Structure 1
Amino acid sequence: MSNSDVTYLFDPLCGWCYGATPMLDRLSASGVRIEPLATGLFSGAGALPMDEGFAAHAWANDQRIERLTGQAFTQAYQRNVLGIRGTLLDSHAATLGISAAGLEDPSRRLTALKAIQRARYVDGRDIVTAEGVAAVLADTGMADAAAMLRKPAETVLTVHAELVGRGRALFQRLHANGVPSLAVIRNDAPRLIGSNALFGSFDNLVAHIAAA
Structure 2
Amino acid sequence: MILHYIYDPLCGWCYGAKPLVQAAQAVLPVIAHGGGMMTGANRQTVSPQLRNYVIPHDRRIAEYTGQPFGEAYFEGLLRDETAVFDSAPPIAAVLAAEQIAGRGLALLGRLQCAHYEEGRRIADEAVLFELAQDIGLEPQAFQAAFNKAETDRHIKDSRAFLAEVGGQGFPTFALEHNGQFNLIDISPWLGKPQAFVAWLSQSLPGQASSLELQACGLNGCAH
TM bracket, shorter-chain basis: 0.7 to 0.9
Asked if 2 retains the 8 angstrom alpha-carbon contact of 1:5 and 1:33, the reply is yes
Asked if 2 retains the 8 angstrom alpha-carbon contact of 1:66 and 1:73, the reply is yes
Taking the TM superposition and a 5 Å limit, the aligned residue runs for 1:4-23 are 4-23=1-20
* TM-score (ref. length: structure 2): 0.80
2:109 is aligned with 1:114:
yes
- For these two proteins, the number of residue pairs brought into alignment is 202
Match in the other structure for 2:220: none
Aligned-residue offset at 1:137? 1.2
Deviates more, 1:137-146 or 1:64-73: 137-146
Aligned-residue offset at 1:20? 0.3
Give ranges in structure 1 of 5+ residues lacking alignment. Answer: none
Asked if 2 retains the 8 angstrom alpha-carbon contact of 1:176 and 1:194, the reply is no
Q: Identity of aligned pairs, percent?
A: 25
* TM-score (ref. length: structure 1): 0.84
**Residues 195 and 144 of structure 1: is their aligned pair in 2 closer, same or farther, counting only changes over 3 Å?**
farther
Aligned-residue offset at 1:53? 1.9
Give ranges in structure 2 of 5+ residues lacking alignment. Answer: 214-223
Tell me which stretches of 4 or more aligned residues in structure 1 moved more than 4 Å: none
Match in the other structure for 2:83: 87
Match in the other structure for 2:63: 67
Partner of 1:184, secondary structure, is strand
Whole-Å Cα distance in 1 between the matches of residues 41 and 33 of structure 2? 19
Match in the other structure for 1:139: 134
Whole-Å Cα distance in 2 between the matches of residues 149 and 42 of structure 1? 22
Asked if 2 retains the 8 angstrom alpha-carbon contact of 1:50 and 1:86, the reply is yes
Q: Which has the higher contact order (CA 8 A, sep 6+)?
A: 2
- Bigger Rg, which one: 2
Match in the other structure for 1:157: 149
Asked if 1 retains the 8 angstrom alpha-carbon contact of 2:66 and 2:191, the reply is no
Partner of residue 51 from structure 1, selected from 47, 52, 56: 47
